[in-house]
Structure 1
Amino acid sequence: MTFAAANLISDAHEGIGRIGRIPVRNLWLLMLYASDLFRDLEKAKIAVEDNPDDIADLVAEMLCRRVERHIQRNLSYGYQSREAVLGRVRGRIDLLNTERNRLLDRGKVACRFDELTIDTARNRYVRTALEEISKIVLRGALAHQCRSLAASLRRMGVAGERPSRGEVSIDRFGRHDADDQPMVAAAHLAFNLALPTESAGAKQLSLPDREITWIRKLYEKGIAGFYDVVLSQRGWRVGAGKTIGWQVESKSVGIDKILPSMRTDIILDNSDAGRRIVIDTKFNSVVTRGWYREETLRSGYVYQIYAYLRSQEGNGDPLSENASGLLLHPSVSDMVNEAVVIQNHEIRFATVDLGATAMEIREQLLHVLE
C-alpha cells in the first residue's frame, strides 16, 4: 500500500471520507485508542468498535458532560499578564513607557501586572473544542448542546480566540485544578477528531507529507494505547517507547557519541505466561520489491528486530531468553501474518487492515499476539 500517493476521497454511501484508502472513522478509532478516554470507556464496558461511526458523538457527549459539571462547580481561573496605563500603581511599573509618554505629567503610570481571569487558554481551548466537534456529530440535538455550552462559556467571559498549540502545550495542572484534566483530555480528542474533516468544502484534498507524518505517529500511539488498556486487564505489563541497552563488554573512548540506542515502540510482558513480545510499528508496506524476487521483507527491519531480541539475552531477565518480536504494518485489504523462529526467538511479520471494520481491527490486533 502506498500512502504518499493516496488522495482524500469521499464515500458516498456512508457519507464518511477517507484519508488515502483509510476511512476517517478508523482514524477516529486510532485517535480514541491513543487517548486517555479509551481507558474510561473500557472500564464502563462501552464497546466503541460496535458503532465506530458514533465515536464523534460519544466523545462529544463526554466533553459536554464534563463541561457541564465544571460550569456547575465553577470553571478554573488563571492569571493573565496585562499591560495598562493606570491612575495608580498596580504590579510593576513600566519605566520606559512611563517616561517616553510623559505619563507622570498627567498623573498616570504604565504598569505590568497579572490579572485573575476566567478567559484562560485552557477554557478557550475547551470552548473551541465544543464549537469544532459540533460540526461533525451525527445527532442534531447533540450538536445543539455543544453550541449551547460554547455560547454559555462565552457569556461567562471565555471570549478570547482559540489558543495556539504553544499555549496549550505549556499548560500545567496543579493540585487545585487537577479535576480539569479529564475535560481537557476530552477537548483534545474532540480537536483531533475534527482534523480530518475540517477542510473547506468536502473531502477532495491531496495527502501532503505532513499528513503522512501525522498518521504515522497516530498509528504508533493508537496501537500502543490499545494494547495498554486491553492487555493490562489480562495480566500483561505494557511499556511504550522504552530504550533497551547494548550489553557492552568493552568500548573505545568515543563510541558512546556515535553508537545508536535501541528504542522499542512497545514491549508486552506477561510473567505468569513467561512471554515477552517486542513490537515495532512500521507505517509502510510489509514487503518491498527484491533484487531477485517479486516481493521480499525489508531486510533493515528484520535486522533491527533481531538485534532487539538477541542483544538482551543473558542479561538476567528470563523473559529475554525466548522473547518474540512483531513487526506490525498497516494495510488495506492485503493481509500478511507470517512467522519464523530464529535462534529460539519467534519473529512475526503481520499487518492490520485499516480498511476493515472497527471490530475486525480489534480482533486482528489481538490475533497477531496469539
Structure 2
Amino acid sequence: MELEENSRTGRTVSLTPAQVDYLRRCDLVDVRPNGTDFTLVPKAKRVGAVHAYGLDVVVTPKLTIPRLLFMLGYAKNPGFLPENVEGVEADGLWAIVAETLCRNVERALNRGVLRGYTTRDATSTTIRGRVRVGDQVTRRPGRLIPVEITHDEFTSDIPENRLLRAAVSRMLRVPRVDGTVRTRLQHLLNRLTDISPLAQGAPLPRWRPNRLNVGYQPALRIAELVLNTLSFEVGRNGLSIASFVVNMEKVFEDFVTVALTEAWSSSPGRTEGQFPAALDASGAITMNVDVVHLVDNAPRFIVDAKYKLESKSGRYPITDLYQVLAYCTALGVDRAWLVYSGRAANATTHRIRNSPVTITTYALDLSAPPQDLIAQIERLARSAWT
C-alpha cells in the first residue's frame, strides 16, 4: 500500500490485530477504525516504509528518495557527498536504500578489508603492552602469572568494519530486499564474517576520518544512516518487522542548521543550533531557537526553519512571524530569517513597525540538485552580512 506524504484521504483496508498494534506504534500512519476495517492516514510530516506481519505500507516523500537520503546524511555529517546516494536505479524506498548501501560497501571493500590497530584488554602468560596493575591486584593478588594486560593489536576487527557488518546484516533482514541485491549483500557479509557483531542496543562504534579509511568513508556514512534510521525486530510467531520512518520536520531543521553552520564557518563568530532563550525577565517563558549566529558571544542573526509549504495565495502563516519576532525580542536581535521548504523564490523582507526588527522569508527548493540546494543556503548566509 502506497500513500503520499501529508495525504489527508488515506486508504481503507482490513487489518489483523497484530498489524493494528504495530502500525499504531510505528509513528508513520494514524490508524482509524472504519466499520470492520481501518483507514490508514499518513502522520503529518512523516515519510518512510514499514513491513509488518505481511503488510507493506509506504508513505512516499515529496522529495526523491536519493534527495531524502542526502539530506539525512548531510544533517549528520557535512562531509556526506551527493554522489554517495545519487544515480541509484531502483524502484521504491527499500530497494533504493538497499542498493545505495550495497554499492557503497562494495566500493569500500574493493581494495580489501581495512585493518588497523585497536586497543584490547587480555589475560596473558606473557607481557605485551602494559600491565593493568589494578586489575591484576584485584583478580590475582600475590600472583604474577597469568597477567592482566592492555595491548595494541593489528586487526580487521575495527570500528569501521563493525559498522559495515552491522548495516549489511540489518539490511539483509528486511524482507522486501530484491533477490539480486540480497545476494550481493550476503557476499559482502561473508567477507566480514571475522568482524565482531554489534550487541543489540549497543551504541554505534565511533570512528574518525583519516587517510587510511578515506576509501571507506562514503560507505561508513551510509552505514550510519541505515543503522540510525532502519529498525528491525522479530514479532509474533517469529515474523519479521522492519521500519524506516523519517520525521521530515526534524530532517529539514537539522539540514538547515548544519548547512548554515558550514556556510558561516569562515565568518566571525560561531553558529549554534537549538539556542536557549527566555522571553520574560524571570526566565519562566523559555524557548529554543533553531539557529543563532553569535559574534563576540552576542546573538547577531536568527534563523527559524519550517518544513511547510506556502498556501495557494503564496503566503505563509502569520503566526510564524509572531514566533520569530518573539525570538528577536528575547535575544535582542534585529535580523532574522524564516526558512521554508517550497519553491525557490525571491526572499521577502518584512520590516516590523515600531521595532528595529527585520524578518525575511526564504524558500528552499528541495527538489533542486544537492549542489544547488547547498548554494541556496550559502546565498542566505552571505546576505546576512550585507
* TM-score category (smaller protein): 0.5 to 0.7
Contact 1:17-1:203 within 8 A present in 2 as well: no
Alpha-carbon shift at residue 89 of structure 1 (Å): 3.2
Partner deviation per Cα, 1:256-300 (whole Å, 9 max, x = no partner): xxxx99976288xxxxxxxx996312579999xxxxxx9844634
Contact 2:108-2:215 within 8 A present in 1 as well: no
Question: Which SS does the other structure have where 1:99 is aligned?
Answer: coil
Provide the residue aligned with 1:63 in structure 2.
104
Contact 1:61-1:142 within 8 A present in 2 as well: yes
Provide the residue aligned with 1:281 in structure 2.
305
Provide the residue aligned with 2:325 in structure 1.
302
Opposite residue 96 of structure 1, the aligned amino acid is T
Contact 1:75-1:118 within 8 A present in 2 as well: yes
Unaligned runs of 5+ in 2: 1-5, 7-24, 32-39, 49-59, 274-280, 294-299, 312-316
Opposite residue 218 of structure 1, the aligned amino acid is V
- Distance in 2 (CA, whole Å) between partners of 1:130 and 1:304 is 44
Opposite residue 134 of structure 1, the aligned amino acid is L
Spell out the pairing of 1:15-94 with structure 2 (5 A cutoff).
20=44, 22-24=46-48, 26=61, 29-36=67-74, 42=82, 46=86, 53=93, 55-69=96-110, 72-84=111-123, 86-90=124-128, 91-92=130-131, 94=136
RMSD: 5.8
- Distance in 1 (CA, whole Å) between partners of 2:78 and 2:41 is 23
Partner deviation per Cα, 1:173-224 (whole Å, 9 max, x = no partner): 44444444333212112223414x668555899x9xxx97xx6543322345
Alpha-carbon shift at residue 77 of structure 1 (Å): 2.2
Provide the residue aligned with 1:129 in structure 2.
167
C-alpha change, 1:46 and 1:152, in structure 2 (3 Å) is closer
- Distance in 2 (CA, whole Å) between partners of 1:219 and 1:30 is 10
Opposite residue 70 of structure 2, the aligned amino acid is L
Provide the residue aligned with 1:242 in structure 2.
271
- Distance in 1 (CA, whole Å) between partners of 2:309 and 2:26 is 14
Question: Which SS does the other structure have where 2:167 is aligned?
Answer: helix
Provide the residue aligned with 1:251 in structure 2.
none
Paired residues in the alignment total: 294
Spell out the pairing of 1:353-364 with structure 2 (5 A cutoff).
359=367
RCO greater where, 1 or 2, for CA within 8 Å and sep 6 or more? Answer: 1
Partner deviation per Cα, 1:34-88 (whole Å, 9 max, x = no partner): 425997764699468997735414421343223322xx3441223232221x433
Structure holding more strand per residue: 2
Contact 1:134-1:142 within 8 A present in 2 as well: no
- Distance in 2 (CA, whole Å) between partners of 1:51 and 1:89 is 56
Q: Residue 9 of structure 1 is aligned with which of 10, 29, 44?
A: 29
Opposite residue 327 of structure 2, the aligned amino acid is Q
Contact 2:119-2:152 within 8 A present in 1 as well: yes
Contact 1:6-1:20 within 8 A present in 2 as well: no
- Distance in 1 (CA, whole Å) between partners of 2:234 and 2:270 is 32
C-alpha change, 1:30 and 1:122, in structure 2 (3 Å) is same
- Distance in 2 (CA, whole Å) between partners of 1:44 and 1:178 is 13
Provide the residue aligned with 1:325 in structure 2.
337
Task: Determine if the alignment matches structure 1 residue 311 to structure 2 residue 333.
Answer: yes
Unaligned runs of 5+ in 1: 245-254, 268-275, 288-293, 313-322, 332-336
- Distance in 1 (CA, whole Å) between partners of 2:330 and 2:89 is 36
- Distance in 1 (CA, whole Å) between partners of 2:234 and 2:328 is 39
Opposite residue 8 of structure 1, the aligned amino acid is L
What percent identity do the matched residue pairs reach?
14
Alpha-carbon shift at residue 149 of structure 1 (Å): 0.7
Task: Determine if the alignment matches structure 1 residue 340 to structure 2 residue 337.
Answer: no
Contact 2:348-2:360 within 8 A present in 1 as well: yes
Alpha-carbon shift at residue 153 of structure 1 (Å): 0.6
- Distance in 1 (CA, whole Å) between partners of 2:204 and 2:243 is 31
Spell out the pairing of 1:256-267 with structure 2 (5 A cutoff).
265=291
Alpha-carbon shift at residue 145 of structure 1 (Å): 1.1
State the TM-score, normalized to the length of structure 1: 0.55
